[in-house]
Amino acid sequence: MNISIKTPGRSVLLLCIVVLFSFSVVYAQDGTHEEHTEHHNIEEVVVTGVLNKSQKETVAPIAVLDQEALRENAASTIGDMLKSQVGVNSVSFGPGVGQPVIRGHGANRVQVLQNGSGALDASNTSQDHANAIEGMLAERIEIVRGPSTLLYGNGAIGGVVNVIDKRIRSDLPESTSGALEFRKNDVNNGNTGVAMLSGAAGNFAWHVDGVLHSNDNVSIPGFALKDSAEMSSFGILENSDSEKRVYGAGLTFIADAGYIGLSINDIDNQYGLPPGAHEHEESHADEDEEFTRLDMQQTRVDLKAEYSPLSSWVNKYSASLTLNDYMHSELEGEEIGTVYDNQGQELRVNAHHQGVSTDLNGSLGLHYVNRDFVAKGEEVFIPEANINALGIYLIESLTLDKLTFEGGIRLDQQRIDINSHCDPRHNSISSNLGLIWNVNSQGSLHFSISRSQRAPAVEELFSNFQSTGCNPSSNLPNPDALVEHAATRRLEIGDPGLQKETSLNYEIGYRHHQGRITGEATTYINAIDDYIYLSDIADFDDAIISRYLQEDARFIGAEADIDVLLFETGRGNKVNFSIFGEYVAAELLRGPYVPRIPPQRSGIELSFTGQDWSVKVRDTLVYSQKKLAARESKHYSYKRIDVYADYHWHVGDKQFQFFANGRNLSNEEIRNHASFTKEFAPEPGRSIELGVRYVF
């Protein structure tokens, strides 16, 4: 594919300076500033994965949000919690929905996991469906940027977000501990309460947790509708209120050679969609339009076990099983319009080996996912389907002096059954080869080449499916026979003949993990054959006729996040300066740009840290997206200023943590280019959040 993508000069210049500067640090600090080494190491957090490596030992770029980072970035959706991370954005559908976008990929190309198992909800089926995993209860969140199909299969061609909690644990807590937290936000009169409690009784570890959240309509700086004040609210985004309840518990039996644990959690989430999101023909003439709300319920059960033989070439066996019962109703006023039901099961069995030398280790695993998807109602455009996927994988790692090699292969089969003669079956092969070169004790270069495949999703294959044939005609079907997807205002047409996507990803980067300067810079090229996208092809009344098509595409991007220790005293007071930036361009081989790609952004952060307090000031510039797809509108660039401060008050072995979070302090009008609702639902205006957390 010969695709020419021109990058705006300011963004490229910024990223090149950061990348070149980070590379120069290898030589400038080799053997110098050793007195700072032990104080500024990247935290050794074991990243979720079968090889149990630390963050700096992995080939893939990985970000880990610990408790401090989670508290600073806490939000009601996973996407909003992670959108300040380099390479990660959020696609919103009003404040109640925020899905993570990694390097321009979202939905069926990014897996959101809970403790390593899939969400098994309906969030990938439509842009207005919220994710059913609660980030406020996480112990940490791990983000893998780039293809992760070896472990997680078809849905991880773009990346992975893993939300990790304490419900099932591998060790006994020394004492009973817990936390209580309350937050108050002025932008939507939001109230959030969080509670966690953990303890042990004999060989059993137990844990309970919960979240209560409610908010009113969100304040916005100006009119909701972008181009006209007529029939548009001012200062308030109507129908953006929400209410959520989450409860969970876990019990784990722990022995010397392993553990077995069971957890259960229940979610009840009701949120509104902004006016214009679900618009119907009759609503145009009715000034008293009834708002649309989604009422979601889910019950999830997880079983997890691990066994480590005392003496064996296979030194660890692990297994996990997830059962999920998900349902949501779309309420139009008092009436139930559409009901989505998703029953899911996921099984993973893994054997980890370690040879005579600890330099060689790897894992062999089996991964099975089954989903029964049902949608009922007048607005249903996707048929009932059983989705069945089975994968086996092998991943190996070998360390030779300063070099670490990683490689693996995965075989997948996906079958979708809609009880027709068009039921597809796709076989996929994914592989990866990576290298880490430890240039010195402070930095490392990482290279990777990965080939990943993704089978089409049920909505891409069978939206408005007509059983007269397995391949759509070149002529448009009768629009009167199509059912509108109200969330996108489109008459979407699937293609049962779609082939699987094949991605070839090349990546090179540098990490500096010790000394006064730490950080990472990465650049990548992701060439995707048979990329599946939704193309607008015609107008019909007030809707757009769209069809799922395939075309070769190429994603080119760069990311950098560098932190510099400016000043430090013997009392633990520090001043740090950070610079960050990201850029991704995506273009089709014989067509326009890929739609809804997040624009480039860059920024700086200045942080002041003491023994019991911290203050951070962050300035982010988001550029206007000029590489537009067909029918896409242009939005202005904006600058966002955020400030965070906290104070820890110790009372014996207990602690009070007081914090304040100011977001979008300049009250900018922000319209998220990656969002379907950007024309009529801007992001929240200036907000001040105050909170207290009691840890005991």
Per-residue three-class SS string for 576-588:
EEEEEEEEEEEEE
Domain ranges of the chain: 9-695
User: The tokens of 216 are what?
Assistant: 């009113």
The pLDDT value recorded for residue 34 is: 43
The pLDDT value recorded for residue 38 is: 40
| DSSP states of 120-173 | -SSTTT-TTPPPS--GGG-SEEEEEES--HHHH-GGGSSEEEEEE-SSS-SS--
User: The tokens of 169 are what?
Assistant: 């644990």
> Which residues does the chain have with pLDDT short of 70?
1-50, 227-231, 276-289, 355-358, 467-469, 471-476
Q: In the 8-state DSSP scheme, what is residue 107?
A: G
Q: How many whole angstroms separate alpha carbon 85 and alpha carbon 81? A: 9
Q: Are 323 and 304 in contact (CB under 8 A)?
A: no
Q: Which CATH superfamily is domain 9-695 in?
A: TonB-dependent receptor, beta-barrel domain (2.40.170.20)
Report the run of H or E that residue 184 belongs to, with start and end.
Answer: strand 177-185
Q: Are 28 and 18 in contact (CB under 8 A)?
A: no
- Three-state SS across 292-312? EEEEEEEEEEEEEEEECCCCC
360: Cβ–Cβ under 8 A, 6 or more apart, which residues? 354, 396, 397, 398, 399
**pLDDT tens digits for range 80-96:** 999 999 999 999 888 89
| 334 CB neighbour count, 10 Å cutoff | 6
Find the distance separating the first CA and the last CA of the chain, reported in whole Å.
Answer: 58
| DSSP states of 310-343 | SS-SEEEEEEEEEEEEEEEEEEETTEEEEEEEEE
The pLDDT value recorded for residue 194 is: 98
Conformation bin of residue 364: beta by default, left when phi > 0, alpha when psi is -120 to 50: beta
Phi, psi of 135 (to 5 degrees): -80, -20
Q: How many whole angstroms separate alpha carbon 160 and alpha carbon 157? A: 9
Q: In the 8-state DSSP scheme, what is residue 485?
A: B
Q: How many whole angstroms separate alpha carbon 641 and alpha carbon 186? A: 17
Q: In the 8-state DSSP scheme, what is residue 599?
A: P
> pTM (2 decimals)?
0.91
Q: Are 7 and 581 in contact (CB under 8 A)?
A: no
| 156 CB neighbour count, 10 Å cutoff | 27
The pLDDT value recorded for residue 281 is: 43
Q: How many whole angstroms separate alpha carbon 270 and alpha carbon 328? A: 9
Nearest by Cα to 564 from 600, 512, 525: 512
| 32 CB neighbour count, 10 Å cutoff | 12
Q: How many whole angstroms separate alpha carbon 285 and alpha carbon 135? A: 41
- Number of C-alpha atoms within 13 angstroms, CB side, residue 85? 29
Q: How many whole angstroms separate alpha carbon 540 and alpha carbon 151? A: 43
Dihedral over Cα of 173, 659, 86, 487: its sign:
positive
- Beta-strand runs (E) in 239-290: 242-255, 258-272
The pLDDT value recorded for residue 403 is: 94
Report the run of H or E that residue 415 belongs to, with start and end.
Answer: strand 403-417
**pLDDT tens digits for range 13-41:** 455 445 444 444 444 444 444 444 443 44
